[in-house]
Amino acid sequence: MKPVALMCVALALVAITGCNESAHSGGHSGPPPAPPQEIDNFALVDSYGVDSGVSRDVPLELDPYLYDGIFEIYWDVTRGGGYDFFLSVSPTADINNSVTVYSEYCGPGEICGVSGYAICQYTADFTLGCSDQAAMDVYDVFYEVPQTLHFFAETCGIDGCAYRRLPVTMF
């Protein structure tokens, strides 16, 4: 009789443990993960003063001989938490083929937060750089001149990465 009573007690303990929510393998113990840091806006002001944030249908052009090749970029993100910002350029619409020409850590207490801005320069010897960072040689990205390249703004945080793309004709 004792073995039957012990078995009943053991089964009751297993049943009680099975009712504990945290014991379920599919259970959720915290809030759902945050979505990736999204880019609300990515814009470029080209060699002719065309602002893609204002004139979305006007083609963008960068000319190294106009205003010393100076142009501007700016962006806005969905949340103010810390994230890495990358500006890269590619001959294709695929970000995986791009070359990073500028990067910045953004967030609370940093020079960029929910919004960011940089002055960049494209030179006649095919270098591209922004702010106080060293210019990158982008000669290998070109097949011909002029050529339309794709500028990517990418943000990466603890919840993943997101990007936006702008086509820009380079002279």
In order of start, what are the domains of the chain with their CATH numbers? 39-170 (2.60.40)
Give 22-60 as a DSSP string: GGSTT---SPPPPPP--EEEEEEE-TT--BTTT-TTSPE
By mean pLDDT, which of 30-39, 78-87, 120-129, 155-164 is the weakest?
Answer: 30-39
Residues 89/101, Cβ–Cβ less than 8 Å? yes
User: What is the chain's length?
Assistant: 171
Could you tell me which residues are beta bridge partners of residue 43? 74
Could you tell me which residues are beta bridge partners of residue 104? 85
> If you average pLDDT over residues 142-152, what whole number do you get?
97
Q: Would the pLDDT of 22 be above 70?
A: no
> If you average pLDDT over residues 143-151, what whole number do you get?
97
Residues 171/62, Cβ–Cβ less than 8 Å? yes
Q: Is the pTM of this model over 0.85?
A: no
- Contacts of 28-32 spanning 24+ positions with Cβ under 8 A: none
